[in-house]
Every structure is written in C-alpha cells, then in structure tokens.
Amino acid sequence: MYQDNRPCDVCGSEVRLRAHEATEDPAEATVRDDNDSTIDERVCINAGCPTNAGGADAPRP
C-alpha cells in the first residue's frame, strides 16, 4: 500500500490521495512530467488553496 502523509506544499493543509482518472485512449492520457510522481493524485482539502483553482497553471499540492 502506498502512503503519502506530506502536507500540501503550497498551504500546509492536509492532503487526500485520489486515484488518477483513467482513460480508454492512451493518446488522451494525462502525462506526468516527473518520474517521481505519486501513484495517486494529491488533493489539498483546503478549498481556498491555489492548488484547487483548476487549470494547467494551478500549482500541485
């Protein structure tokens, strides 16, 4: 089992892990730029955190 207990790198709040969205078409799959990315997507629980703003320019927690 994978665990990532690190707080959000932007605001310091707790982070929840969520499975990456799957896609049938590999051409549409999200490419992660870094080989050390987590298995799951890190999601900050602070609704006001800039990481929850959405879009490609939003920082990652």
Per-residue pLDDT tens over the stretch 27-59: 555 555 555 555 788 899 999 999 999 888 888
SS3 state of residue 52: helix
Domain boundaries defined on the chain? 1-26+38-53
User: What is the Cα–Cα distance from 35 to 52, expressed in whole angstroms?
Assistant: 23
pLDDT above 80 for 20: no
User: What is the Cα–Cα distance from 38 to 40, expressed in whole angstroms?
Assistant: 5
23, amino acid identity? T
pLDDT above 80 for 1: no
Q: Is the pTM of this model over 0.75?
A: no
- Binned at pLDDT 50, 70 and 90, residue 26 comes out as low
